[in-house]
């Protein structure tokens, strides 16, 4: 079977083609949505798949995999840098040397990678998970990628006889640690039902959005809004200080008004102190804005605020802030 890496260069070509639509018009208003709160469902041991694979143990993947282990799941892990697997191995996780080996040894395999290129290589590169998939096996990609990339994964995974579910998450490091993520899923409904107890261990709610690509689209829209909100908040903090106001008081005022948001309350105090402990890397926020712009282009939808915001994050990256928290975008305004 041909690997995703063979076809991956065509993704950028398609994204630059104005006539190409990742999400056909007929689906824009006809998505069947099912939403569940994990607080309502307490997974039982008998409900869980026998063996679970987890590929990618970064800021998000590590705590997600840890929560599965703490819940009593039999977890096998892989990461490009093996040292990141050691804390989970010490918690009795098993280790395999490639995504292919993990997928071959597990019933359900999750993948949490940083970008579309990494996710493509892990899903169906030379030693990718697709090589180890087959009938009766399942692949759940919780990475944030564009819709076309997700559809390409689906094509290759289903070609092996396995099931595919995209399930990007809304939430950053702390929600991942606390099992409070929001899963935006789409794909094989039978896998959605099978994976539900696992999603409920790692998250507080889950949405089933229908066809593959809808989960990716929802995640990009959510992160587009989040990035724009953060940029506007940063402008407010910088302006308040420039005119002689105390930005800490601005954070408090905002927290008591109609535009109050948990993100402002959590990030504001650190931003005032020019401290940006990484929960969601700035480079990933800019990547998601770039993908959201591609999504908008595919349906000829203007998003000028997001476009301007993307430029601000690019400036922040040029200042060496890529690995800082995305709230460090404020430095590009100073």
The CATH number of whichever domain residue 253 belongs to comes to: 1.10.1040.10
Based on the fold, state whether residues 173 and 225 are members of the same structural domain: no
Q: What's the pLDDT score for residue 309?
A: 98
Cα(131)–Cα(96) distance, integer angstroms: 14
Residue 169 domain-assigned? yes
Residue 107 domain-assigned? yes
Based on the fold, state whether residues 119 and 247 are members of the same structural domain: no
Residue 16 domain-assigned? no
Q: Is 219 a catalytic residue?
A: yes
Based on the fold, state whether residues 123 and 266 are members of the same structural domain: no
Residue 21 domain-assigned? no
Cβ atoms 288, 149 nearer than 8 A: no
For 272, other C-beta atoms within 10 Å of its C-beta total 18
Q: Which of 138, 137, 130, 146 is nearest to 164 (CA)?
A: 138
DSSP 281: B
Domain-ending residue, one of 157, 191, 210? 210
Based on the fold, state whether residues 168 and 243 are members of the same structural domain: no
Residue 250 domain-assigned? yes
Based on the fold, state whether residues 250 and 189 are members of the same structural domain: no
End-to-end CA gap in the chain: 52
Q: What's the pLDDT score for residue 205?
A: 97
Cα(285)–Cα(276) distance, integer angstroms: 14
Residue 136 domain-assigned? yes
CATH of residue 119's domain is: 3.40.50.720
Cα dihedral across residues 37, 40, 43, 47: positive or negative: negative
Based on the fold, state whether residues 274 and 323 are members of the same structural domain: yes
Based on the fold, state whether residues 230 and 310 are members of the same structural domain: yes
Based on the fold, state whether residues 62 and 199 are members of the same structural domain: yes
Q: What's the pLDDT score for residue 50?
A: 86
Cα(200)–Cα(245) distance, integer angstroms: 44
Number of domains in the chain: 2
pTM: 0.86
Q: What's the pLDDT score for residue 48?
A: 77
Q: How far is CA 251 from the centre of its chain?
A: 28
Based on the fold, state whether residues 198 and 229 are members of the same structural domain: no
Based on the fold, state whether residues 55 and 201 are members of the same structural domain: yes
Cα(40)–Cα(325) distance, integer angstroms: 32
Domain of residue 304, residue span: 217-333
Cα(64)–Cα(202) distance, integer angstroms: 6
Distances (CA, A) of 174 to 35, 41, 47, 62, 279: 22, 21, 26, 12, 7
Interacting residues of 206 by C-beta distance below 8 A, sequence separation 6+:
35, 36, 38, 167, 182, 183, 185, 196, 199, 200
Cβ atoms 128, 100 nearer than 8 A: yes
Based on the fold, state whether residues 230 and 153 are members of the same structural domain: no
Cα(68)–Cα(202) distance, integer angstroms: 7
Q: The tokens of 50 are what?
A: 């026998």
Q: The tokens of 18 are what?
A: 């104005």
Q: Which of 131, 173, 219, 267 is catalytic?
A: 219
Domain-ending residue, one of 210, 235, 254? 210
Domain-ending residue, one of 210, 233, 261? 210
Based on the fold, state whether residues 148 and 204 are members of the same structural domain: yes
Residue 24 domain-assigned? no
Cβ atoms 78, 105 nearer than 8 A: no
Residue 12 domain-assigned? no
Per-residue pLDDT in tens (0 to 9) along the chain, 334 residues: 444 444 444 343 333 333 333 334 334 434 445 666 654 455 555 667 789 999 999 999 999 999 999 999 999 999 999 999 999 999 999 999 999 999 999 999 999 999 999 999 999 999 999 999 999 999 999 999 999 999 999 999 999 999 999 999 999 999 999 999 999 999 999 999 999 999 999 999 999 999 999 999 999 999 999 999 999 999 999 999 999 999 999 999 999 999 999 999 999 999 999 999 999 999 999 999 999 999 999 999 999 999 999 999 999 999 999 999 999 999 999 9
Pairing of strands 138-141, 169-170: unpaired
Q: The tokens of 44 are what?
A: 């039982």
């Amino acid at each position: 079977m041909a690997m995703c890496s063979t076809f991956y260069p065509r993704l950028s070509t398609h994204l630059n083609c104005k006539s190409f639509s990742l999400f056909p018009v007929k689906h824009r208003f006809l998505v069947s949505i099912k939403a569940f709160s994990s607080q309502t469902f307490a997974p039982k041991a008998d409900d869980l798949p026998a063996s679970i694979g987890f590929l990618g143990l970064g800021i998000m993947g590590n705590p997600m995999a840890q929560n599965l282990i703490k819940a009593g799941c039999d977890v096998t892990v892989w990461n490009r840098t093996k040292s990141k697997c050691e804390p989970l191995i010490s918690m009795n996780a098993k280790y395999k040397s490639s995504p292919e080996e993990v997928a071959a040894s597990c019933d359900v395999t999750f993948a949490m990678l940083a970008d579309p290129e990494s996710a493509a290589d892990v899903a169906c590169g030379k030693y990718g998970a697709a090589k180890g998939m087959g009938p009766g096996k399942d692949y759940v990609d919780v990475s944030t990628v564009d819709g076309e990339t997700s559809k390409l994964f689906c094509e290759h995974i289903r070609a092996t006889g396995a099931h595919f579910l995209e399930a990007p998450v809304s939430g950053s490091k702390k929600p991942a640690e606390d099992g409070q993520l929001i899963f935006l899923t789409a794909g094989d409904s039978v896998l959605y039902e099978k994976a539900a107890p696992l999603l409920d261990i790692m998250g507080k709610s889950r949405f089933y959005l229908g066809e593959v690509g809808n989960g990716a689209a929802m995640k990009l829209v959510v992160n587009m809004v989040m990035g724009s909100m953060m940029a506007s908040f940063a402008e407010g903090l910088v302006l308040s200080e420039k005119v002689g106001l105390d930005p800490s008081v601005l954070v408090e005022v905002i927290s008591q008004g109609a535009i109050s948001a948990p993100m402002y309350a959590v990030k504001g105090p650190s931003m005032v102190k020019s401290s940006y402990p990484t929960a969601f890397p700035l480079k990933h926020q800019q990547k998601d804005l770039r993908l959201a712009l591609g999504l908008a282009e595919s349906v000829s939808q203007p998003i000028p605020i997001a476009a301007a915001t993307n430029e601000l994050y690019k400036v922040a990256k040029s200042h060496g802030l890529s690995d800082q928290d995305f709230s460090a975008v404020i430095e590009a305004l100073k």
